[in-house]
Amino acid sequence: MTPPSVGRAPVRVALLGFGFAGRTFHAPLIQATDGLELRVVASSQAEAVRTWLPGATVVASAQEAATHPDVELVVIATPNASHAPLAEAALRAGKHVVVDKPFTVTLAEARALRALALECGRTLSVFHNRRWDSDFLALRTVVAEGLLGHVTHVESRFDRFRPEVRQRWREQALPGAGVWQDLGPHLVDQALQLFGLPDKVHALLARHRDGAQVDDWCQVTLVYPRRHVVLQASMLVAGGMPRFAVHGTKGSWLKYGMDSQEEQLRAGKRPGAAGWGVDPSPGLLWTGDSRNGTPTVAPPGDYLHYYSALREGLTGPGRSPVTATQALAVVSVMEAAVRAAESGREQTPDLTEDERVELVTPRGPRTQD
């Protein structure tokens, strides 16, 4: 990604929330992006923030940070149910906005925010960072080059092993909680990037752990013509399952292990460091006449691309890396899955014809979609 032009003032940023997402992902990526300057952080843990970010102004109120006069871009990494009201406040204050996944808890909220961003002439984007996982970049190439022929069956998993229910909002009976809202957006966004909107959605959501208040296991199937994409997430998988299993008319592609960037960020590593984003476990391509899978080359993962592309969209000729309409489509599939699980019947993602058209042909050359 091209660095900002010499002399161009940096985009001043407020980060709302300094929990896992804000501290592990957003803060280090913003700091590593030329042309972005992290000025304000909203957190109740002022001393912890100052230890990590000694140059930032710390405020206790997320609402105050969302409308702070010293910032142009607001990044929202707060609990899911607060995404919509905070994004609305920031947009009405004239700020550009990035929302951590999931975009919103409901499709109605997503539509309202998208309309408000267009009305205000401000960029609204969602941090679907898993588009830049090393293994997903490799899979996109495998599919695009036709190495599997027509892809008929995909299994995409995002698992954890956390047998004990923890006292945190993601595992409490609150709007936007549960494994489907937590990990499902990653799986759905990747599927839509590969294959577009499905015709129908089947879903099962369940609680498997003792004391679980919300779903901690899910299996959601996206139905396309001659293709089924099975999305799975669980809090009770210790290992052994492939991250991706992709099958087609010419062969199969299997991938074990997760992208390394989250682990590297947790360990304090930063983009550009030696080995950043390198996947130690390549995917294997199997054809009908092969006894052993052939390793496929994977480019390094690159979450920094999201913020670099966003900066170019805000200050130059680029586009938003994830448009509000794309994020709205993810919410439509998420909501269809909940309806399907509750009703026991397949559901159709609830997008208008105009929204479907804009998914294929985004409007405008800049960050607005």
Predicted confidence (pLDDT) per residue in 73-107, tens digit: 999 999 999 999 999 999 999 999 999 999 999 99
Domain spans, the chain? 11-129+306-323+353-360, 130-301
Q: What percent of the chain has pLDDT over 90?
A: 87
Q: How far is CA 124 from the centre of its chain?
A: 14
Residues 236 and 93: their CA atoms lie apart, in Å, by: 43
pLDDT of residue 233 exceeding 60, the answer is yes
**Model confidence band, residue 368 (pLDDT cutoffs 50, 70, 90):** very low
Do the first three CATH levels of 11-129+306-323+353-360 and 130-301 match, i.e. the same topology?
no
Write down the CATH number for the domain with range 130-301.
3.30.360.10
**151-159 vs 244-248, strand pairing mode:** antiparallel
Query: So what's the pLDDT on residue 361?
Result: 65
Contacts of 176 (CB under 8 A, 6+ apart): 79, 80, 81, 83, 102, 105
The residue with greater pLDDT, 46 or 15, is 15
Pick the CATH number of 11-129+306-323+353-360 from 3.40.50.280, 3.40.50.720, 3.40.50.300, 3.50.50.60: 3.40.50.720
Over residues 184-213, the mean pLDDT reads: 97
pLDDT over 50 at 367, yes or no? no
Q: Does the pLDDT value for residue 183 go beyond 80?
A: yes
pLDDT recorded at residue 5: 45
Nearest C-alpha neighbor of 124 from the set 100, 102, 96? 96
pLDDT in the model for residue 7:
56
Kindly state the average pLDDT of the residues 291-303: 92
Q: How confident is the model at residue 184 (pLDDT cuts 50, 70, 90)?
A: very high
Query: Per-residue pLDDT averaged across 117-123, rounded?
Result: 96
Rounded CA separation 75/19 (Å)? 13
Q: What is the pLDDT of residue 362?
A: 59
Closest CA to 168 of 235, 104, 219, 213: 213
The pLDDT mean for the chain works out to 93
pTM higher than the cut 0.95: no
- Cα dist. 155→69, 173, 190, 231 in Å? 46, 28, 12, 6
The predicted model gives 351-367 an average pLDDT of: 74
By CB atoms closer than 10 A (0-12, 13-18, 19+), residue 335 is buried
**CA-to-CA distance for 220 and 311, rounded, in angstroms?**
34
Tokens coding 271: 């983009």
Query: 224, 236, 239, 129: which is closest to 185 by C-alpha?
Result: 129
* Mean pLDDT computed over 291-317: 93
The per-residue pLDDT for 317 is 79
**Residue 365: per-residue pLDDT:** 39
